[in-house]
Copies of this chain bind each other. A is one copy, B any other.
Amino acid sequence: MKDDVDIVLFLERLGRMLKNDTHADGLKPSQWDALRYLARANRFSRTPSALTAYFGMTKGTVSQTLKALERKGLIAKTHDPLDRRNIRLSLTKAGSALLKRDPASAIRKIAGSMAKDQQAELVAGLNALLQLTLEDRGSKSFGVCKTCRYFEEKTASRASQRCKLLDVSLSVQDSELICVENITL
C-alpha cells in the first residue's frame, strides 16, 4: 500500500518550480503557457477553445488569460470570416520577441544537460503518461499535424501537402505544428 516513490510528488514539485520560475517579465505562468502554445500550434489550432482543450482549463479562465495578453499587446484576435464565432489568435511581434526570453528555458537547458539516453527515456515516459491521462479523460491528443491520419503527403500529382479532414492545403510550417484535430491512428 505504501508507495516507495510517488510520481505525483515529482510532477507536483517540478511543476511548481517550473511555475514559480515563470513569474517574470510581468507575465503570469498561465500567460507564458498560452504564449508558448500559440507559438507551436498551427493556424487551425490557435483558438481559445483549442487552448481550453489543450490545457484542460475552463473557457472562462482561458478568456481571462487571453484578455490580459491582448491588453499587453502580445497577441492579436481576429474573427474567422467563415464562422464568425471562431476567434483566431496570433502572436504579435512583441509576443514573439518576448518568448525568446521564456523563463522556462532554465529548466529546458537543465534537461538538455542530461545524458541523451536518459532524456529520451524521460520524454518517452512523460509522453506515455500524458497519453494515458488524456485517454482516461477522453481528451484529444494534440499531436503534430504531419503525424495525423488526415495528413496527405505532397506527391507528383498534388502540388502541396493537404489536410483531408479540413480539405485545405498545408504549408510545411503548419504541418510541423501542434493541431487540435490530430488523430494518430
Contacts and interface: CB of A to CB of B under 8 A. Distances in A.
A18 interface: yes
Interface residues of A, number: 47
A114 interface: yes
A14 B19 CA distance: 12
Interface string A52-84: 001111000000000000000000000000000
A14 B132 contact: no
Interface string A1-25: 0010111111111111111100000
B123 A14 contact: no
A15 to B, nearest CB: 3
A118 B127 CA distance: 11
A85 interface: no
A106 interface: yes
Interface string A101-139: 000101110110110001101111111111011001000
B20 A133 contact: no
Contacts of A7: 107-108, 111, 119, 122-123, 126
Given A125-B122, A126-B122, A19 B15 contact: yes
A14 B13 contact: no
A133 B17 CA distance: 9
A140 interface: no
B8 A12 contact: no
Interface string A88-110: 00000000000000001011101
Nearest to A134: B17
